[in-house]
Structure 1
């Protein structure tokens, strides 16, 4: 509901009254005022009148001062008539007070109104107890009618009734008869020969009324029609019709005001080709580079969209080297005889701009230096649009920042300096959580966690967590410093303890007790590429049971023992261009890691894995997400068998939905439970569907998916025929109390008899 904006129609009446009453003073004698009296007052006191009077006892009354006095009294808004009289040396102010509004009601306005309308009317002075002004009431009627028209109610009736009451008061009642919505019955385009009317009408937001329930696109508004005509012009000019024009538009309302007919007359014109391009003005950039930035090659069909996008790319390139206010205008130079266009890109770079200050607002709990170190745009350096945008993205990716916006403003008094201001919205950086969760792999769990992602405003992260689920108990303590060195090398140290009854929930039982320490460094190689290198030590104890431990695990224990101490080298490299680390909508992630249990320990094995994600924005805010992972684990040296707790498993929400967690692949003997394998390969293709309940997609996500994958005992056992597939729909939500909630319903597409299916799967809790 828009606020009412009323014109002050009383100005003309006021000026007329001033002229009339002032005329009475033009011939009056000049005299010095000795006393001032007022007549006609009902609710007001004489003192109130005198506060608006520019005259007092001792002043001279003449035609000029009389006009000023009348103008001041009218300007107070308290009076609807003012006269100045005199009796000898006594000035008499004769007034008629404006009536007060005893009651103000508006009825029948179900479609337009609400609390915002009442607030707007009260602010304007149309409310109980306010002084009545006819011009405001007229303006309310006009604005209500305008808004009803804008919403398709052309049959609306608005009747105002002003009733006089005792003691100079009035009651006001506005009765609205809304009628029915006027719908667009027909939109007709005349003059189109190349494209059909149906094809052109697909470009319109306005639509003819149809069977769709709750349709609103069939409600006419002048603004919507103007926007559709602009889209129609763009549609033609993007396809070479440079001289396309809309000749006339007729909008007809039927006598019963229930239907609207729209007729658009157009002239298509001829198709124009691009003859060549040229660049005028102070281009700054090399012409060969300018050619790379333009997408309007010689001989191509003229397209206004391509010409505009080319100009935008040139502006962005100039902005990246300091010309923050560059302006590039594509000017078509037309050869009418040959129907050809020479595109002249007129370049006005302006002066090269330098950044004076980089400012931050909204960071109440974060040190300035913590944000400043994320900057790729530096102070006193030439302005770079891409560097500023990358700085904003880096701020948005910080775990304690919910959102970051940037604004670039010229420095007053200069033409070559700008200030860059980042406005951040912080998340709560610290939390103490205790909760429950559920996972198909581990069953129900209880978690307790103390986390601070921005310790003392430094950006350092502290984590202390404990977890107790169906098969395991764990305790973890970690400390992360994202800027362990000034060059951006990060350091993470973690200490952990875990005791478990099996590797996953549905597997043969054996107890493990593990205590370990990891020290890992992240080394940035470029803006998007980072290297991971670290070292870890683990002490693992295994206990088996004759009646519930599988033969494979018993054989492993017989060969290697039950107590293991390992030294691990942890390495990896990643390429990450995602716009967010969670619920991303564009960009890619490619990660390759290799962890090796080194000689000198009791076990020697290695684990190499690849993970890839790609986000592709589609039309209508749909997004295509493609995930792929491949992992290989094997023993080497004196160790002949991969430790069972290092095997890969598949099945479940994070691999192949529709199959029980960890159930795919090799099984043990004699219990026929999942045992895992050395090779895992999975893929998930998700079509992310925009939800009307959330515009930015940062806390909810709905997707249709297709999953494929499996686990194999040996890499050479891989066969595409053994890959399991499923399709379905999934929903994810960051809940206030349960953390991330994942729901999915799947249809296994090629399941085998021995597969354990699980169509509906749920995971919730912050422990995963």
Structure 2
């Protein structure tokens, strides 16, 4: 009886009831209460079979085994004769997980955390884990200063032993920092030490960018900044002794106190290198920037370690260990630095893998690799490979990691993960101006045709002033050496009168072929040949083209059209160091191109174009970047025709204005205007019988200046943009949307124009003219631009205000364009 009572007490403590004698031979085992768990699955956790002799110990072991299976919340065991009966209550199955009130923590983060604790839909519910999750979430909120935060779990029971779990969050506001105190500092004031702090206290209401809410992780970073501040100035014994964070009773404000010991300054007595430097000892010593008799500088020591590691990483030593060991002499306040170098084994790349390229073929990405398979792993070559991949216009982002091959300590695989972006674009534009009215255009450009990396363009565009069709194709790797080959066939009808230009129609068709040759990683040479046929009709002659028209017009048919057959040669050089092909944030690009027609062409002329862009990141994450742009062009004729010097054909003139050149101005509106000169004639004739008019001398002529531009043979455009994070936009869209504040400046002028040719005009007429050869007649504008890489292609929305304009300029506040980004 005593033994039975003792056994009953033992089982009662563990929540289990057992009625059994000391030992007996079990004739049957029964489990009652099973719903979801199969009988066979439950029996596998009972460590004995029918016919075995049992005692209380073996029964208690079976209870523990069933609990350990994770299927049951409660187990009761009792004996019916020699039959052993288990009555169980299964754990509930999770039917749904709901989050309510969470703002700081996204649903995805919470689901990932719960999944790590085996709390997921379809699994059984372990109630013991729930309380731990609640405490962990509250600890997180406390770490970001939300001491009033509260997390509660609501469990709703459903039929068939199912439950819904609802996590209810009451986050509250983070405690504001009332004051930050530093105790123990005598060498530097609190203001000097707190200047670089991310946390601030008592910020004014208008400084909405200030971080005046307490966060534990941010405070830890600020403490490291204080330590670095002293170490960089030679205070080698500096230490943060303690940090106290005290709250007000309402838990809405905190006081932060840091206790520091400054110590004294230490001077470097010497620098030595120890260990194996893989044969680069002389180079490493030469690269060392640390000099004796200088104050100890912690930042310089860290920089030296990183520089040596990167240097060794270029030659296959991917995992070097570089450690600086200080030998401090407190007597004379000096420190000797011993830099220990262990390069480790040279690592080789067995394989380069690509992931995420659902459209682009592996070989297209592989040809951009600077890191080669079978060669040693070079950090500079891998980074270079990433950079070249990012420059592809159909790649949005690139990440890579090196993974050691199991069982091999000197072989790795390099895994590149790319994120593709739309490689084709539907180029379109819509706009409205007082002169051009509604304009539309459309076309298709594929930069990654069938995943080959080749460019195919098929466009049929129509706007109020132009109709064109073009087919172009470019293979950037026509040879394995990176020589590119491209060509195009085009047709265009241009109505200048509808494009803010003086009236003429130009029907053009032609073909072109070009080759590109790489000089090095960044520089390419390009050469091309082409044929173009121009047919000019409905030409409204004006002063600036009178000489050109007189050379080529048929005197027997002055109203007839003009036709020109020209063969052109072009050569160019480009240098590109941009970090991305689309939306770059660092690096630069420069392009210089020269085009000239051959001497056997109907018109002999040349044009020179320079286009350069520089990106200067202002922050480490490159979300704030300054872009500077400069573009210049010049053209003129060469040779003579019938004793007359050739000039640049008017249809080749430079133009400015619009979303791609000078935002804030209507398309092509910037530049010289057409001058029309009319003689003054009066009725009468020296011969009264003949009748007719008599025209006065040229110094009495009347001048009319058009409101439309004719372009010029010289152009300068420039601009500055501040690229900023797009407000109210999710971080996941940062690589496809760009916002910038810009200032555009530029002018188009005619170097062949001479205002003195009109000096004989009456003063009231001469005053109507402007000096169209004056480079100083520049225009400028400022505004906001938003660019979006949409599924149809790049879209640009610009809001611009003209700052400086000339009389007659037509301005435009809003412009919208599809197909090209800055």
Q: TM-score, normalised by structure 2?
A: 0.80
Gaps of 5+ in 2: 1-8, 554-561, 677-704, 754-771
2:713 paired with 1:703: no
After TM superposition, the structure 1 stretch with the greater mean CA deviation from structure 2, 489-498 or 454-463, is 454-463
Distance of 1:654 and 1:43 partners within structure 2: 68
1:733 aligned counterpart, secondary structure = strand
2:752 paired with 1:760: no
Distance of 1:526 and 1:41 partners within structure 2: 74
Distance of 2:399 and 2:523 partners within structure 1: 24
> Offset at 1:113?
7.6
Distance of 2:74 and 2:517 partners within structure 1: 82
Distance of 2:820 and 2:251 partners within structure 1: 61
2:270 paired with 1:270: no
Q: How many residues are treated as equivalent by the alignment?
A: 747
Q: Cα 1:515–1:226, aligned 2, differ >3 Å: closer, same or farther?
A: same
Q: Which residue of 2 aligns with 1:7?
A: none
2:729 paired with 1:676: no
Contact 1:374 1:391 in 2 (8 A): yes
Q: Which residue of 2 aligns with 1:330?
A: 324
2:586 paired with 1:531: no
Q: Cα 1:91–1:410, aligned 2, differ >3 Å: closer, same or farther?
A: closer
Contact 1:460 1:482 in 2 (8 A): yes
Could you tell me which of 730, 741, 755 is aligned with 2:785?
Answer: 730
> Offset at 1:185?
1.7
Q: Which residue of 1 aligns with 2:795?
A: 740
> Offset at 1:178?
6.2
Q: Cα 1:261–1:488, aligned 2, differ >3 Å: closer, same or farther?
A: same
After TM superposition, the structure 1 stretch with the greater mean CA deviation from structure 2, 101-110 or 442-451, is 101-110
Q: Which residue of 1 aligns with 2:726?
A: 691
2:545 paired with 1:553: yes
**1:400-419 alignment to 2 at 5 Å?**
400-419=394-413
Contact 1:353 1:418 in 2 (8 A): yes
Q: Cα 1:386–1:120, aligned 2, differ >3 Å: closer, same or farther?
A: closer
1:233 aligned counterpart, secondary structure = helix
2:697 paired with 1:644: no
Contact 1:109 1:176 in 2 (8 A): yes
Could you tell me which of 665, 669, 683 is aligned with 2:671?
Answer: 665
Distance of 1:685 and 1:165 partners within structure 2: 63
> Offset at 1:623?
1.0
Gaps of 5+ in 1: 1-14
2:675 aligned counterpart, secondary structure = coil
CA deviation digits over 1:284-335, x for unaligned, max 9? 3645533564443445443322322232222222111222222322333434
CA deviation digits over 1:686-737, x for unaligned, max 9? 2222224264743222223333332231189976744444444333333445
2:483 paired with 1:486: no
Q: Cα 1:297–1:370, aligned 2, differ >3 Å: closer, same or farther?
A: same
2:475 paired with 1:476: no
Distance of 1:481 and 1:163 partners within structure 2: 63
Q: Which residue of 2 aligns with 1:629?
A: 631
- Select the structure of larger CA radius of gyration: 2
Distance of 1:645 and 1:473 partners within structure 2: 16
RMSD of aligned Cα (Å): 4.1
> Offset at 1:743?
0.1
Distance of 1:394 and 1:63 partners within structure 2: 72
Q: TM-score, normalised by structure 1?
A: 0.85
CA deviation digits over 1:30-59, x for unaligned, max 9? 332113356899999988864643333222
2:257 paired with 1:255: no
1:758 aligned counterpart, secondary structure = coil
Distance of 2:16 and 2:140 partners within structure 1: 41
Distance of 2:247 and 2:57 partners within structure 1: 54
Q: Cα 1:523–1:445, aligned 2, differ >3 Å: closer, same or farther?
A: farther
Contact 2:572 2:591 in 1 (8 A): yes
Q: Cα 1:40–1:391, aligned 2, differ >3 Å: closer, same or farther?
A: closer
> Offset at 1:454?
3.0
Distance of 2:581 and 2:200 partners within structure 1: 40
Q: Which residue of 1 aligns with 2:617?
A: 617
Distance of 1:51 and 1:268 partners within structure 2: 66
Q: Which residue of 1 aligns with 2:592?
A: 592
Contact 1:33 1:61 in 2 (8 A): yes
2:447 aligned counterpart, secondary structure = strand
Contact 1:243 1:269 in 2 (8 A): yes
2:627 aligned counterpart, secondary structure = strand
**1:386-535 alignment to 2 at 5 Å?**
386-429=380-423, 433=426, 435-438=428-431, 444-502=438-496, 505-535=499-529
Contact 1:659 1:748 in 2 (8 A): no
